[in-house]
Amino acid sequence: MNKKKKLLIGVVSISVIILIITLSLTLFKNDDKVVLSDNENNKNFINNSFLTLMLEQSDGSYQESKSNTWPSGNYAFNSELSRCENGGELRWNREEGIVNLLSNKSDACYVYFDLYNVVTITNVSATKTTNSVTLTVTVDAGENPVATYYFSIDGGRSYETSTSPNYTFSELTPNTSYTFQVYAVDSQGYESNEETIEVTTDNYVNPVVNSVTATSVSNDSITVSVSASAGTNNIQTYYYSINNGNYTSSSSNTYTFSGLSAGTNYSIRVYVKDRNGIDSNVYTINAETESVVYLCSTGTNFATCIKNQYTSQGSNGLYYHDGVGTYTNADQEAGDYSYRYAGANPNNYVCFGSDAASCPSANLYRIIGVFGNEVKLIKSTSYGNYAWQSDWQGQGNTWNSSTKPDIRTTLNSTFLGTLSSTWQNKIATHAYKVGGMARCDSYTAKQFYNTEVGSSSSSTTDSMKIGLMYVSDYGFAASPYYWTTELYYYEPAKSSNWLAGLNEWTISRRSDVMYNAFRVMSAGEVSRNGGLGYSNAVRPVFYLNSDVAYLSGSGTQSDPIRIN
């Protein structure tokens, strides 16, 4: 029957002479007697003889019940007909199966029970994870089908609704107990009983790195293999760090650190994340690279000696730029058939300008690479801070200015003069590309190379002994992983680029802005906004004569290469 079409036929009169303000009174079944009870003190103070219940009959009418018990069988509380004359409120308590009366004064109330088969919840089951609980409700069919299910996690203060008997509470806390309340309402608006279930979410198990093993060690690389156990969720990502550097992520449980120094002990750290982003422990091992052994004897041509260190890409920190994809693909390489050092700290130190048994730090240089039969060196430390051109205004703001002070003069006069004639004679007079290039700090190393000295270059040439590094020299000195990264965004490459660390000038000036040249920043990126009048570090660069020979040394900072 439709609750909204019930007629008021009978009256239940509950007379309370004295009520305490805001007292909550409850009708409930107790030992088969209808009793009015004080919720706070639970004292029976009104006899059931004062209570008359109105029950619906089969013809839809209501008759007064002479029984002193609650109606048995298929009856349902009618909230629309039940009322109180003086404003009291009657509520059906789903959890207790009773009627609550809320009143603040004496009242006369009317309570109705319909003859109705209400849907009944017979069971509430739960499945759980670490952060979710799914409830499934089982019901005995009533007179009408269930229209809505109600699910609460906060003690009935609020309910989530669903037309399905299943509902999932998510984003819960692992290993935590939750109490859920569930009831249903059928298509006519009648409420079922309310059931309560307590569920504890699963405890979350983190992934664990069990061991890390160095499976392959060379003089410039270490390969590690990781054994890890999944916890609650599968492992998704492995993270690798060397000497407290930034972590590199990988989906593989093996990783190779390349471009390392020979005979050096490294601290390697590894951890994993599962698919929910939960971290494992950090596992640390120490591994030492093999000592470098040069494949040439005293008196071997120096360029040939360096080339002989190359056996495959990355061996001894060397990469061969043949332009046909020896490393990965051709568009990453310079394509000039050079042999260039790349990585964090290759063994490419050379003592130049001194024959002292212990090479002074001011005489330490490093090999950029071998170009043809010439070895190209760069000073290991800064020669000082200088303006690219201290007076760039007006005419003459080029590399080789006859009227304005410039770095060319500083390098080929002042700096060169610090070397004896014996050492000066080991330096080749070389053609440097010194013209401008357009705004392109977002180029990759290969694109810079093409613009500076390669196929796209329109730079002018100046022959001299001392110059500066090209932007592309800096780009290719990083681990090959970064060769497709634009140099304006080269900060992440800093830790794997042996040329990084200073705010310093390059030899490349901008052609579109007369007073700017490219410079490398200490954070690792390349900037086009180098005003020619700014002072930045300068590291002299030069090519050795092709007849220079190897004498001794392993190429480490403490044991640099000596030449004849």
Query: Which of 148, 170, 200 is the last residue in one of the domains?
Result: 200
Do 177 and 314 have their domain in common?
A: no
Cα 290 to Cα 159: distance, rounded to the nearest angstrom? 67
Instruction: Place 5 in a pLDDT band, splitting at 50, 70 and 90.
Output: very low
Among the candidates 266, 288, 310, a domain finishes at 288
Higher pLDDT, 89 or 324: 89
* 512-552 pLDDT tens trace: 877 888 999 999 999 988 888 889 999 999 999 999 999 88
Q: What is the pLDDT of residues 493-502, one digit of tens each?
A: 999 999 999 9
Given a cut of 60, whether residue 49 has pLDDT beyond it is no
Kindly state whether residues 374 and 466 are assigned to the same domain: yes
The answer to whether residues 468 and 438 belong to one domain is yes
The pLDDT value recorded for residue 286 is: 96
CA contacts within 13 A on the Cβ side of 399? 27
Mean pLDDT of the chain: 84
Q: Is the pLDDT confidence value at 295 over 60?
A: no
Query: Is residue 559 a part of any domain in this protein?
Result: no
Residue 522 C-alpha from the chain's centroid: 25
Where b means 16+ CB within 10 Å and e means fewer, 339-349 reads bbbbbbbbbbb
Residue after which a domain boundary falls, among 115, 136, 154: 115
Q: CA-to-CA distance for 448 and 459, rounded, in angstroms?
A: 12
Which of helix, strand or coil describes residue 533? coil
What percent of the chain lies above the pLDDT cut of 90? Answer: 55
Q: Which pLDDT does position 7 carry in this prediction?
A: 29
Cα Rg for the chain, rounded, in angstroms? 43
65-72 long-range CB contacts below 8 Å, 24 or more apart?
68/32, 68/33, 68/34, 69/29, 69/32, 69/33, 69/34, 70/29, 70/34, 71/113
Q: Do 89 and 14 have their domain in common?
A: yes
Query: Do both 161 and 222 map to the same domain?
Result: no
Structure tokens at 441: 């700090």
Considering the chain, what percentage of its residues have pLDDT values greater than 70? 83
Cα gap 215→211, rounded to integer Å:
12
Residue that wins the pLDDT comparison between 511 and 15: 511
Nearby residues of 222 by Cβ (< 8 Å), 6 or more positions away: 214, 216, 242, 256, 257, 260, 266, 268, 287, 289
Q: Which domain holds residue 334?
A: 302-543
Specify whether 9 is located in the same domain as 83. Answer: yes
- Residue 529 CB partners (closer than 8 Å, separation 6+): 516
Residue 158 lies in a domain: yes
The token duo for 320 is 């061969």
Is pLDDT larger for residue 559 or for residue 415?
Answer: 415
pLDDT per residue over 135-177, tens digit each?
999 999 888 999 999 999 999 999 999 999 999 999 999 999 9
Q: What is the amino acid identity at position 348?
A: N
71 with 157, same domain: the answer is no
Domain count, the chain: 4
Verify that 80 and 126 share a domain, yes or no. no
Do 113 and 17 meet the contact criterion of CB atoms below 8 Å apart? Answer: no
Q: Strands 364-371, 338-341: parallel, antiparallel or unpaired by DSSP?
A: antiparallel
Task: Give residue 400's pLDDT.
Answer: 64
Backbone φ/ψ region at 175: left (φ over 0), alpha (ψ -120 to 50), beta? left
- Per-residue pLDDT, averaged over 378-402, amounts to 74
Mean pLDDT of 71-96: 78
The residues facing 256 across adjacent strands are 223
**CA atoms of 507 and 435, how far apart (whole Å):** 9
Q: Domain check: are 356 and 384 in the same one?
A: yes
φ/ψ of residue 361, rounded to 5: -60, -30
- pLDDT confidence band for 21 (50 / 70 / 90): very low
Provide the CATH number for the domain around residue 160: 2.60.40.10
Sheet strands (E) in 314-416: 318-321, 338-341, 349-351, 364-371, 374-379, 384-387
CA distance 213 to 229: 15
Distance CA 284, CA 307 (A): 35
In a domain, 551, yes or no: no
Report if residue 297 sits inside a domain: no
**3-state DSSP percent of the chain in helix, strand and coil, to 5:** 10, 40, 50
pLDDT of residue 327 exceeding 90: no
- The arithmetic mean of pLDDT across residues 274-283, rounded, is 94
Predicted confidence at residue 395, as pLDDT, reads: 43
Residues 383 and 520 in one domain: yes
Is the same domain home to 361 and 217?
no
Q: Does residue 458 belong to any structural domain of this protein?
A: yes
**CA torsion through residues 396, 400, 403, 408, sign:** positive
**Sign of the CA dihedral 51, 52, 55, 60?**
negative
CA distances from 164 to 156, 343, 407, 479 (A): 19, 60, 79, 57
Residues 502, 438 share a domain: yes
pLDDT in tens, 428-475: 999 998 877 777 778 999 999 988 887 666 667 889 999 999 999 999
User: What integer pLDDT is reported at residue 262 of this predicted model?
Assistant: 78
- The 8-class DSSP code of residue 188 comes to T
Is 563 within a domain?
A: no
pLDDT, mean of residues 369-380: 97
Owner of token pair 């993270």 = 239
Q: What is the pLDDT of residue 298?
A: 85
Which residues contact residue 132 at a Cβ distance below 8 angstroms, ignoring those fewer than 6 apart? 168, 169, 170, 171, 172, 201
82 in a structural domain: yes
Say what the pLDDT of residue 155 is: 92
Is the residue at 37 inside a domain? yes
